[in-house]
């Protein structure tokens, strides 16, 4: 009888042990990881984006897999024949495919060892000869059919707007499903009704009240936004003559905005223009830096962030 398989993102504390196991030559389906002496550093680089997964069976390492978001390819798939069951490789591949889909990756490819053709073909991958390397194959699979209806809708909207298909992976911005349950939290400073998840709305209310007790005024600019709203926002900016690069430097693509989650808010204070960097020079922003974490909020897009989005000191996300 097969043991219980657990597939999860690898932890940084496991890297040395994983690299040692790979160096001892666990059977590898793929053919990308390269020189063994650089392996530990390579595996470590996958941790921040949770692109390295391990499979355990009865608390023993049964396999390991990695996906390269930048090149939309399977990077590695190791399976221990002494521990793994027949379900280990399929479970690892499914986890890697789902992770790629989270960033809008539509097709996953890679180079694989020729003797793994039967396994990969059974899991839906097309296998073709690798030119000049008879011991390897070029493999690939479309992920679109296994995407959720909402993810496919987001892909369609982004295609209509001519947003690059590599947007999510390149920016390291995951798809954000629309929150199904939202509660009215009051009007923003423009008199528009705003909505958040219940717990996010309560935390925001407590945070604003705490700021007031400290003599700091925090005003709400916006909260939940639908995918359709975000798409119209992008369309308006394009119609106003902005380039796509200019739009995506300050606005997330539809389907990728934290506002869809009903956990994100844009904030300001009296006397300044909303949604401008000048907010960073206010008492309100300094108060948020020192106190927002206590209420479960964090600043999402700091200066020089890895997502390629301009600094947004006004944008805060409820992460509890």
Taking the domains of the chain in order of start, what are their residue ranges?
A: 5-147, 179-224+262-318
Cross-strand pairs, 28: 78
Residue 29 has a pLDDT of: 77
Under a CB-based contact definition with an 8 Å cutoff, are residues 110 and 33 in contact? no
Residue 50 has a pLDDT of: 96
- What is the rounded distance in angstroms from the CA atom of residue 125 to the CA atom of residue 140? 5
- What is the rounded distance in angstroms from the CA atom of residue 310 to the CA atom of residue 250? 6
List the chain pLDDT tens, one digit each, 320 residues: 457 899 999 999 999 999 888 877 676 777 666 555 578 888 999 999 999 999 999 889 999 999 999 999 999 899 988 899 999 999 999 999 999 999 999 999 999 999 899 999 999 999 999 999 999 999 999 999 999 999 999 999 999 999 999 999 999 999 999 999 999 999 999 999 999 999 999 999 999 999 999 999 999 999 999 999 999 999 999 999 999 999 999 999 999 999 999 999 999 999 999 999 999 999 999 999 999 999 999 999 999 999 999 999 999 999 98
SS3 state at 258: helix
- What is the rounded distance in angstroms from the CA atom of residue 10 to the CA atom of residue 127? 28
CA distances from 100 to 44, 261, 275 (A): 18, 20, 32
Q: Does domain 179-224+262-318 have CATH number 3.30.1380.10?
A: yes
Under a CB-based contact definition with an 8 Å cutoff, are residues 138 and 128 in contact? yes
Q: Does domain 5-147 have CATH number 3.30.70.100?
A: no
Residue 1 has a pLDDT of: 42
CA distances from 204 to 207, 221, 291 (A): 5, 13, 12
Residues of 97-113 as b/e, b for ≥16 C-beta within 10 angstroms?
Answer: bebbbbbbbbebbbbbb
Q: Is the pTM value of this prediction over 0.85?
A: yes
Q: How far apart are the first and last CA of the chain?
A: 39
Other Cβ atoms closer than 10 A to 303: 11
Q: Closest by alpha carbon to 183, among 198, 169, 171? A: 198
């Amino acid at each position: 009888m097969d043991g219980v398989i657990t597939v999860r993102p690898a932890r940084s504390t496991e890297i040395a042990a994983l690299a040692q196991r790979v160096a001892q030559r666990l059977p590898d389906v793929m053919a990308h990881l390269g020189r063994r002496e650089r392996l530990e550093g390579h595996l470590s680089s996958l941790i921040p984006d949770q692109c390295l997964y391990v499979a355990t069976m009865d608390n023993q390492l049964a396999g390991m897999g990695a996906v390269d978001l930048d090149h939309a390819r399977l990077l590695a798939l190791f399976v221990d024949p002494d521990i793994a069951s027949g379900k280990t490789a399929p479970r690892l591949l499914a986890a890697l495919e789902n992770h790629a889909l989270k960033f809008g990756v539509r097709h996953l490819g890679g180079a694989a060892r020729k003797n793994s053709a039967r396994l990969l073909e059974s899991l839906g991958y097309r296998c073709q000869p690798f030119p000049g390397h008879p011991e390897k194959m070029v493999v690939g699979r479309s992920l679109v059919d296994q995407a959720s209806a909402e993810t496919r809708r987001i892909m369609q909207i982004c295609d209509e707007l001519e947003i690059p298909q590599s947007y999510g992976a390149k920016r390291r911005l995951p798809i954000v499903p629309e929150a199904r349950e939202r509660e009215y939290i009051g009007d923003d400073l423009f008199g528009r009704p705003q909505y958040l998840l219940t717990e996010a709305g309560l935390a925001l209310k407590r945070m604003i009240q705490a700021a007031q007790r400290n003599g700091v005024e925090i005003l709400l600019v916006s909260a939940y936004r639908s995918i359709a709203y975000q798409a119209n926002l992008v369309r308006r900016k394009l119609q106003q003559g902005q380039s796509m690069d200019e739009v995506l430097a300050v606005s997330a693509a539809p389907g990728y905005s934290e506002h869809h989650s009903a956990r994100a808010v844009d904030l300001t204070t009296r006397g300044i223009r909303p949604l401008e960097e000048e907010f960073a020079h206010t008492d309100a922003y300094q108060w948020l830096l020192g106190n927002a974490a206590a209420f479960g909020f964090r600043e999402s897009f700091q200066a020089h962030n890895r997502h390629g989005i301009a600094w947004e000191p006004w944008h805060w996300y409820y992460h509890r």
